[in-house]
Amino acid sequence: MKAALLTLLCACLALPAWAGTFSIDLNNDSTQLQYIQNLNTQNYGDSLAKVRYLYDDDTDTNLIGVAAGVTGSPGNADGLKFGFDLGLNASESDRDLSVVAVGIGVNAGYNPPAMRGLGVEGHVVYSPQNFTFADGEEYVEWGLGVSYQVLPNASLTLAYQNIEIDFENFGKGEIDDAVRIGLRLDF
């Protein structure tokens, strides 16, 4: 699995980057790679495409996600951003349970200029029973994190993420429940 993860990381780094963001978040048991591509910039916000891969060694879970969304700054609050996504997440775990979930996501971040590079962020993704397929009946993901911008285009992150799925025959199960440190690079 480590060879596949290294290959995926090298492939992501080799892709041309046009005003995008690449991040890697890790701990001893899990790794998450994410690439966010800015598709269109308008007066009121940006249109984005997102791709991510998560591997959790504890549950031997692979999760791949794609999403499209918008993000922008409401009102006159410097450093405040809100966004909405429509995403597809597909997962397979060690118990040969697979889940495909179409969900709606909401994310927010606050990085005010007065905090000199320190920011907070959070996200929630929900997929109800009628949009969760295979072995799943409901998909809920949420996360909170802090970031510190060490360079104009590089930030260090510390984040907690929880992904919980209600399985048809096995009840609720967590496929990710972890704190990870990370690096985010803006191109």
> Between 122 and 61, where is the model more confident?
122
pLDDT tens column, 128-163 = 999 988 888 899 999 999 999 999 999 999 999 999
The confidence band for 122, taking pLDDT boundaries of 50, 70 and 90, is very high
Q: Which helix (H) or strand (E) holds 7?
A: helix 2-14
Q: Which domain range does residue 181 map to? A: 2-186
In the prediction, which pLDDT does 76 show?
Answer: 74
- Average pLDDT (18-40) is 90
Closest CA to 74 of 106, 101, 30: 106
In the prediction, which pLDDT does 7 show?
Answer: 57
The confidence band for 2, taking pLDDT boundaries of 50, 70 and 90, is low
Closest CA to 160 of 122, 113, 116, 104: 122
Does residue 18 carry a pLDDT above 70? Answer: no
pLDDT tens column, 79-97 = 899 999 999 999 987 677 7
The confidence band for 184, taking pLDDT boundaries of 50, 70 and 90, is very high
CATH classification at residue 83? 2.40.128.100
Does residue 6 carry a pLDDT above 90? Answer: no
Burial group, residue 77, by CB count within 10 angstroms (0-12, 13-18, 19+): exposed
Q: Within 13 A of 148's CA, how many CA atoms are on the CB side?
A: 4
> Considering the chain, what is the average pLDDT of its residues?
87
Does residue 5 carry a pLDDT above 90? Answer: no
Q: How many domains does the chain have?
A: 1
In the prediction, which pLDDT does 135 show?
Answer: 82
